[in-house]
Amino acid sequence: MNFTKIAIIGGGNLGSAIARGILSLEGITNKNLVICEKRKLRIKYLEDLGFSTVDTDIKKAIHNAEMIIVSVKPQQFASVLEELKPILQSDQILVSTATGINLTDISNTLGKQPIVRIMPNTAIEIKESMTCICFRNTTKEQEEKTLALFEQLGKTIILQEDLLDAVTVLGACGIAFALRFIRAATQGGIEIGFSAEISEYIVSQTVKGAAQLLHENNSHPEAEIDKVTTPQGITISGLNEMEHQGFSSSVIKGLITSYNKLIAMEKNNY
């Protein structure tokens, strides 16, 4: 890793997933990473996992940190920012994972501080995140260092900020949508003869393989589907029945419902 110290404020679901990913990078020890978390039980859990922690002493947590990742709930974000504002060094990079808090909101509080907004997903813990990134007030060097870090933790795209809500749904909620498909297919597998364990093993490896085919062949899903669908064969019969039951339509409607809800929550300040 190219940072000597990173502090993560908020060791919840996402903060701890980011921490696990970073700690698994080569040459990283818990001297390079500290998690600031306010829940006592959570601190114990994080310490048991081998992380170095600080309780609510944010000043201690960010001391000498080149990057500070704030990963608290959107409604907690403003108070953390107010706490950070008087103690941040001008070259410390402030990274926000908070859904719906835009760069302008952050720079209204922090002024010229280098700010990065990221939208990763929980697969960051196994270095397979899809992390979308936008920058504000950052130097080229800070951007390159930040990108290099997140590229080690999965795939990255630099996006215009107005797409971050959409990517929250597609990439971050998307983990849950993909997992629900895996669960459904696993249940189908049990009906046709497998134990739950073997069924899930087969389905999850099959989904992983399908995703990798797209990445490695740089192909369209339908092109890969065509290779599996023999005329009058079993695959096309199953696929068409799924479509008759509304498969694609329900996925699209689910995405749009999540997106509309996110926009409504942002309008009402959560």
Ligand X SMILES: NC(=O)c1ccc[n+]([C@@H]2O[C@H](COP(=O)([O-])OP(=O)(O)OC[C@H]3O[C@@H](n4cnc5c(N)ncnc54)[C@H](OP(=O)(O)O)[C@@H]3O)[C@@H](O)[C@H]2O)c1
Rounded least distance, CB 229 to ligand X, Å: 34
Cα separation, 177 vs 165, in Å, equals 16
> CB neighbours (10 Å) of residue 224?
14
Number of helical H runs and strand E runs in the chain: 12, 8
Q: Which is nearer to ligand X, 93 or 164 (CB)?
A: 164
Phi, psi of 118 (to 5 degrees): -125, 150
Rounded least distance, CB 143 to ligand X, Å: 20
Q: Which is nearer to ligand X, 117 or 136 (CB)?
A: 117
Q: Which is nearer to ligand X, 12 or 254 (CB)?
A: 12
| Amino acid in the structure at residue 25 | L
Rounded least distance, CB 248 to ligand X, Å: 24
Rounded least distance, CB 52 to ligand X, Å: 14
C-alpha distance from residue 46 to each of 30, 122, 212, 254 (Å): 11, 16, 32, 34
Entry field: residues in the chain:
270
Rounded least distance, CB 225 to ligand X, Å: 29
Rounded least distance, CB 256 to ligand X, Å: 19
Cα separation, 47 vs 44, in Å, equals 5
Burial of 86 per CB tally in 10 Å (0-12, 13-18, 19+)? exposed
Q: Which residues pair with 93 in a beta bridge?
A: 67
Rounded least distance, CB 101 to ligand X, Å: 7
Cα separation, 172 vs 29, in Å, equals 27
Cα separation, 159 vs 168, in Å, equals 12
Q: Which is nearer to ligand X, 84 or 203 (CB)?
A: 84
CB 121 within 8 A of CB 171: yes
Q: Which is nearer to ligand X, 58 or 203 (CB)?
A: 58
Q: Which is nearer to ligand X, 39 or 261 (CB)?
A: 39
Q: Which is nearer to ligand X, 97 or 138 (CB)?
A: 97
Residues making contact with ligand X (CB under 6 A): 9-10, 12-15, 36-39, 42, 56, 71-74, 76, 80, 97-99, 119, 121-122, 172
